[in-house]
Every structure is written in C-alpha cells, then in structure tokens.
Amino acid sequence: MGETRPVHKIWAIIRREFVERVRSKWFWVSAILGPVLFAGIIVFQIVQSLGGAVRNVAVVDSSSIGVGGRVVEALNASNAFRATLAPAGRHVVDSLKDLVEAKQLHGFLIVTNDLVETGRAEYRASNLGMQTIEALQRTLSRLVVKVRLEQKGVNPEVVDWAQIRISLHQKKIFHGGTVEGNATQSFLTAYFMAILLFMAILLYGVNVMSSVLEEKTTRIIEVLVSSVRPFQLMLGKIFGAGAVSFFQFFIWGVSARVLLSLRGPIARALGASPADVQTIVLPHIPAATMAVFIAFFLGGFFLYSAMFAAVGAMSSNEQEARQAQQPVTILLMISYLSILGLTNDPSSTFAKTLSLVPFTTPIATPVRWTAGSMPMWELMTSLVILALAIVGVTWVAARIYRVGILMTGKRPNLKELMRWVRA
C-alpha cells in the first residue's frame, strides 16, 4: 500500500476513460451508423446494376434526312437506353413533356439536320444526370461520325471497323515497385484517408477536451490531482480517448469486411447476379501505407489532443471551451481545406511545405505518401518534425493543464498563459 505505482494509476485512468466512453450511447450510435451507411452503399450499387440504369427516352425526329431512326437504333444498341421514335408534330413536345412529368419517360431528344451538320441536338429531361448525358453524347458522336463519313462515300463497314475503343492498362510506380491501380483509385484512397484522419483527430481530440472539462466543472479534479500527477492524468486521458477511437475504427473495419464478403448473397437476395456487383473494389492498400497512416494518425491525434486538453483546462464551461478551441480547430481546418490541393498535386511546393509544418503534417504526409510522390527521406523528416512537435506541445500543454485545472473564474489571457507555462 505504501509505495505508489504510477503505471498502475495511469492504467486506471486509461481504463476509466475507455470504459465510460464505450458505455455511452453515442459510441454505439456511431459504431452502428458506419456499417449501416456502408451496407446502404452496397445495396444502392446492386439496385443500380439491376437495370435501374436503362433509361426510357423518346427521339423526336425533325430532320429532313431521317436521322432520328438511326439515333433510336444506336441508342438501343448501347444497352443504356430504351429508345422510341416520336414523329414530329405540333403537340408532340407537350405530350412528351407530360410523359416525363408522369415519370413514364426519362427524357426526350430532339434531333434536326443540325445534328449532322453542326453537331447540335437538344435533350430535355426532369433529371439531367452526368452519366446519362455522357452516354448520350458518346452514342450520338459515334453515330454522327459514321453518318458524315457515309455522306462522303465511305463504306459503313469500314467506319465500324475503324472505330475502336482504347483501354489503358494503368500501373502505378509506387515506392520502388509497380502495383495495379488507376488514377481515380489512388486519388480516392488518399482523399478518403485524409478525411478519415481529419475526422478522427477532431472528434476524439474534442473528446479529450470535454473529458478534462467534465473533471473541472464537477470539481473531481481536486481529488484526482491529490493522488495523481496532472501530467499522468493528461496522458491517461489522451491514451484512453485514443484507444476508444481505435476500437471504433476496428468495429468499422471488421463490419466493412463482413459486409463485403456478403456482397454475393445480398445481390442474390435482391435478384442480381453477383458478377454484376463487382463495382465496389477495395483499393489495395500496401502494408507500408497502412503503417504510415497509423503512425501519423497516432502522432496527429496526440499532438492535437494535448492542445485540446490544455484548452479544456483553461476553460471553465462549455461555451468558453468552444471559443478557446477555435485556434486549435483552425490549425486542423488548414489541413482539411488543403486536402483537395494535396491530392491533385502531391508533389507541389505547397504539398511539400504542408508536410513539413508540424500542425499539417499528420494529414499532408500520409496523403502524399499514398499518392506515391514522397521520397523516404522526406517521410522521415516529417516524422521527426512531428515527434519534436509532440514533445514541445505536450510540455507546454501539460504546464497549462497543471495550473488551469484548478482555476475557475475568468479565462486567462495570453499573458497569463505565458506565465503558467513559465511557472
């Protein structure tokens, strides 16, 4: 009993933090919401592959050369459309409009001689989806090329033979090796990771803050600091909240895996053939990328949590804390707002700078690494900078925390904060 065991105490604090958070309603709401959302995406994709994508369209032929019939033919050949020819008449546009509004028709195409002469046509629909428009444009331009070549006396068979679709097999040179992949995929992976990092750091960092604040407002802090060092308390809190976020990721990861493996049965249950539903492809994430992701998540989480802990300690109620957390949140927002720029050009000077600034490196570096444009030495530099920043920021935060947790009343100004740090 006589001797004190610091590790035992920190462990007790971590466990309390973890158990109480995991017991809370909100943890389970978000734990369940993740898989539900994911299942929704899978079901949506299956339903889409079930012919929901075939559009009923009408083609109004106002041309003098009878191009409408060939448009109908070409559209029907594309599998994406079921087209019918509507002879041009006085009220045909109005009646087609009624059909569109009654949802019996997706939309209608009006073609004139312009289609072949200048490449113009008109499409009217209640819902102008990107995919539909692109499919229409693709089909129409192939047809127009064919018709125009025919007009110049080229054999239609030769035209068909000449039209060929190029498929580009993409391989990515990635940290010394070559892996399967394509541009969209690596962009999406990097983007998704960045968002995930941002959300996790923000949500669980704020958790640390509210936990500090709870101990302060309920005044239990005085009992705690009479038996545990403030620094131990702060560490325990950060580790506890971090463990909760890992547990949350774990639940999401496992349920995503399970749902993916159940894709076939779900598809069969909905009446689709499993072969149709290979649309969801999990991007291949190499172990090295995973390691970088985890290292920078941990580092970023620790860095920001220490700051959030200090914010909680210097505030005496929720409102004050919301105000005082703004500088910290803004630091994090800078990374968030740069995600698009980072993923578009991961080797720009802008991206390089962000991965060398301690407060943006937790998000910028994994993104650059995933995009495959970061030499090993740069990664190491970022890691060292992050580690140094963690030591420095934790030191300052712990000093603010130590004084702040016992203070009530007005929030300290910058001058007073400096005094707390120096004290």
Partner 1 sequence: MFEPVVVDRVTKRFAGHTAVDALSLTVSSGIIYGLLGPNGAGKTTTLRMIMDIYEPDEGTVRLLGTVAGGRTHSARIGYLPEERGLYPKMRVLDVLVFLAEAKGVGRRVARARALEWLDRLGLADWRLRKVSDLSRGMQQKVQFISTVLHDPELVILDEPFSGLDPVNSQVLRDTVVDYRRRGKTVLFSTHIMEHAEQLCDRICIIARGKKLVDGTLGEVKQQHGGKHVFVAFDGSQGGAARVFADRRLVAKLQDFGQQAELELASGADAQEILKALVDSGARLARFELASPSLHKIFVDLVGPEAATAAATGDQGGHGGDATRA
List of residues contacting partner 1 (CB under 8 A)? 1-5, 8-9, 12-13, 16, 19-20, 24, 214-215, 217-229, 406-409
DSSP 142-164: HHHHHHHHHHTT--HHHHHHH--
Phi-psi region of 400 (alpha: psi -120 to 50; beta: other; left: phi over 0): alpha
Decide whether 13 or 110 has the Cβ nearer to partner 1. 13
Nearer to partner 1, 214 or 276 (CB): 214
Helices in 218-354 by DSSP H: which ranges? 221-225, 230-261, 263-269, 287-314, 318-324, 326-344, 349-354
Cα–Cα distance, 10 to 224 (Å, whole number):
12
Q: Rounded to the nearest whole angstrom, what is the least distance from the CB of residue 56 to partner 1 in the complex?
A: 57
CB of 241 to partner 1, least distance (A): 15
Which lies closer to partner 1 via its Cβ, residue 21 or residue 368?
21
Structure tokens at 303: 């860095």
Q: Which is nearer to partner 1, 162 or 406 (CB)?
A: 406
CB neighbours of residue 48 within 10 Å:
15
Minimum CB distance to partner 1 smaller for 77 or for 223: 223
Least distance to partner 1, CB of residue 9, Å: 6
Minimum CB separation of residue 169 from partner 1 in Å reads 57
- Shorter beta-carbon distance to partner 1: residue 346 or 412: 412
> Minimal distance in Å, beta carbon 6 to partner 1?
9
Q: 220 by DSSP, 3-state: which?
A: coil
Shortest Å, Cβ 382 to partner 1? 37
First to last CA, the chain: 33
Could you tell me the two tokens for 269? 């249950």
* CA nearest neighbour of 105 among 87, 130, 123: 123
